[in-house]
């Protein structure tokens, strides 16, 4: 379970800053402090809810560096895993989850396992999001480090916006209620993968 914590600093070749914004810090509230916050929220919720003997498998929480430079952190993890990769049943990624609008949540890389759709439908009944399902697992975010090694993955995303990779991506632009609702859905989905007998294919 993870997301990347790096961003663009004062800007690089992928910055979309205007001439007036040049020299300003890119705070990256949505990209990707929102994903870091959601990862920590889910970690706390899972640890608080866990009862002895509940889980069929363990869980690793990770925050990646170097995503903006080319998936460096997650790529290093996949090449030097702390546990054998065949023991990793799934990877949940949170990248830009802070700008929920019109109740629309995008779930990406759903095509990485035939088990995702049933799990998503079951757990979204209570959450009530208007879901956009995207199958393609080849994404410019950390799920790609796992999918190429045959690990089912799922990316949570609330969509791009006009402040993407610009200095104005600041905390006051985030939808905090939406962020918490997404964390509740993620908690329920991750809990299911930790307690169900069968692994995702």
Residue 59 has pLDDT above 90, yes or no: yes
Within 8 A by CB and 6+ apart from 108, the residues are 134, 136, 137, 139, 143, 154, 155, 156, 157
The pLDDT of residue 54: 86
Helices (DSSP H) in 103-142: which residue ranges? 116-127
Strand partners, 101: 104
For 183-199, the DSSP string reads: HHHHHHHHHHHHH-SSP
The pLDDT of residue 168: 85
Contact 68/14 with Cβ under 8 angstroms?
Answer: yes
Pairwise CA distance, residues 47 & 66, whole Å: 27
Cβ burial 90-101 (10 Å sphere, 16+ → b, else e): bbbbbbbbbbbe
The pLDDT of residue 58: 93
Contact 189/118 with Cβ under 8 angstroms?
Answer: no
The pLDDT of residue 130: 98
Residue 53 has pLDDT above 90, yes or no: no
Residue 109 has pLDDT above 90, yes or no: yes
The pLDDT of residue 149: 96
Cis peptide before 32 (omega within 30 of 0): yes
Averaged pLDDT score across all residues of the chain: 95
Sorting pLDDT into bands at 50, 70 and 90, what band is 52?
confident
Residue 51 has pLDDT above 90, yes or no: no
Strand order in the sheet with 153-157: 62-64, 2-4, 91-94, 153-157, 104-108, 130-133
The pLDDT of residue 107: 98
Within 8 A by CB and 6+ apart from 17, the residues are 11, 24, 26, 165, 166, 167
Sorting pLDDT into bands at 50, 70 and 90, what band is 13?
confident
* Average pLDDT of the residues in 134-162: 96
The pLDDT of residue 23: 87
The pLDDT of residue 81: 96
- Block residue for tokens 């608080």: 48
Which of these, 125, 113, 64, 121, lies nearest to 93 by C-alpha position? 64
* Average pLDDT of the residues in 38-54: 92
């Amino acid at each position: 379970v993870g997301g990347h914590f790096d961003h663009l600093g004062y800007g690089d070749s992928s910055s979309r800053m205007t001439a007036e914004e040049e020299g300003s810090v890119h705070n990256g509230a949505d990209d990707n402090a929102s994903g870091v916050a959601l990862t920590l929220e889910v970690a706390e919720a899972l640890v608080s809810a866990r009862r002895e003997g509940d889980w069929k498998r363990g869980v690793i929480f990770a925050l990646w560096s170097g995503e903006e430079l080319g998936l460096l952190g997650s790529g290093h993890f996949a090449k030097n895993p702390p546990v054998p990769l065949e023991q990793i049943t799934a990877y949940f990624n949170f990248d830009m989850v802070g700008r929920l609008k019109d109740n629309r949540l995008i779930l990406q890389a759903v095509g990485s396992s035939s088990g995702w759709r049933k799990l998503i439908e079951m757990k979204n009944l209570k959450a009530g999001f208007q879901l956009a399902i995207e199958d393609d697992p080849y994404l410019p975010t950390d799920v790609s480090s796992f999918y190429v090694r045959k690990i089912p993955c799922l990316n949570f995303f609330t969509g791009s916006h006009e402040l993407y990779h610009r200095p104005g991506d600041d905390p006051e632009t985030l939808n905090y209620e939406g962020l918490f609702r997404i964390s509740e859905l993620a908690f329920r989905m991750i809990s299911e993968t930790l307690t169900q007998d069968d692994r995702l294919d």
